[in-house]
Amino acid sequence: MFSRISSGVAIAFLATAITCSPVTSTSRDKQSIARPDIQPFPHNAGRARPFSPSRNATCHVAAQDSGADDSAAILSAFQECKNGGTIVLDADYTIGTALDLTFLDGVDIALSGSITFTNDIDYWTANAFRYDFQNSMTFWKIGGKDVNIYGGGVGLIDGNGQAWWDAFAANNSLLRPIALVVDGLEGGSITGLRMINSPNWFNLIANSSDILVSDMVLEAKSANSNPVKNSDGWDTYRSEYVVIQNSVIDNTDDCVSFKPNSTNIVVQGLVCNGSHGISVGSLGQYVEQYDIVENVYIYNNSMSNASDAARIKVWPGVHSELEPVLSGGGGSGYVKNVTYERYESNNNDWAIEVNQCYGQSNTTLCELYPSNMTISDIYFIDMWGTTSSKHDPKVGTLVCSSPEQCFNFHAKNISITSPTGKSEWICANFDTSDLEGFNCVADV
């Protein structure tokens, strides 16, 4: 068993890991970085990482000056080195054209420079790649087989999000791009990058398998009173055998979120701040769709200044409205075998939240239309720390639609207190007999 890590210790570890990456040049525009050998540790997602052979060609991308669009040169390099090559991005690049890079086979992407997306909202809203799920869209998408994206601790992806947050403040139906989408990737890694100011989610891992994410730094900060919106660190969707580890995230929405059909996932060694937690869901959003999240292990993480530390959120059994770009309910499926173990909570509103009425404040409606999503075999083990004063003396809320939809909940060694030193839990509509040490109360 690993010892508890404080957020300060975890940040120091990450900085050391990134600083020691093999940067081999003295000038930024000539930097060359080697692919790091990073492995899942201490846990993998259930099977070993696929072997990734050395590359046989190199394509260097020259950047234009004055922020001109480098998309054509980037696309040309990817096409030239798409089979067994390394694409070197060691300068400051601007992307102003949507890029579909899902045709790669055995490719390394060495980013020691920076990529900044233009803030041409009219262009991107008309030309970004779109996904039906939650009205998602992206500037670019990367996929294929055996692709490694690495930054050696110096590579930067800048989503240029301020213009989007300002526009969203005036029009809350505006759809905004995701900074990086991995789509249809079989085997690969994303390591050693810094990502800042994504207009929407930072990362979406979709339709992919055998992915390692490690040694990342994500930060979203607004320069004015218009807030950062929907800045999820990572969302997984229709993906399996994914490990996300050893990273620092400072954002305003889910640190990690497991969207529909995410299975065999490990999240370990993250330091999250200001988020909505490490979250299962939301699920059951779309009628006639069957959502699954199964075999998820969340180990040795810390969460600070968030709405939740551990969170499971599913929609009720009938369509409901949350906000103009997010509504739903009535879908079905299940959440099964999810473990939160060794989890530090610092000033979070809830240490644990289980919600089968996501997106709906009308509790009567949720009682009439219980969620179609089953939640079972859930484990909370070795959680410690504090909550904020928001719900004092309550520290967590676990409210299910009905006992038929929630069962086999377990908790052990939970040491969470409110600022007044008390520890009350809201528990409803499930068997609480295996929640060791919980003082369950009614929601009053």
Catalytic position from the list 210, 235, 253, 349: 253
Note if 391 is an active site residue: no
Residue 393: strand, helix, or coil: coil
How far lies 388's CA from each of 246, 251, 277, 305, 347, in Å? 25, 18, 14, 8, 4
Phi, psi of 76 (to 5 degrees): -60, -40
Q: Give the separation between CA 251 and CA 399, rounded to whole angstroms.
A: 26
Spatial separation of the C-alpha atoms in residues 88 and 78, rounded to whole Å: 10
Say if residue 111 is exposed, middle or buried (CB neighbours under 10 Å; 0-12, 13-18, 19+).
buried
Q: What number of other Cβ atoms are within 10 A of residue 289's Cβ?
A: 16
Cα 124–chain centre separation: 22
Q: Judge whether 139 and 96 are in contact, CB under 8 Å.
A: no
Choosing from 108, 215, 254, 276, which is the catalytic residue?
A: 276
Nearest Cα residue to 162 out of 125, 119, 193, 204: 119
Note if the bond before 393 is cis, omega within 30 degrees.
yes
Exposure of 16 by Cβ count < 10 A (0-12 exposed, 13-18 middle, 19+ buried)?
exposed
Find tokens 């810094």 and name the residue.
Answer: 194
Catalytic annotation present for 253: yes
The strand pair at 278-283 and 308-314 is best described as parallel
- Annotated active-site positions, please? 253, 276
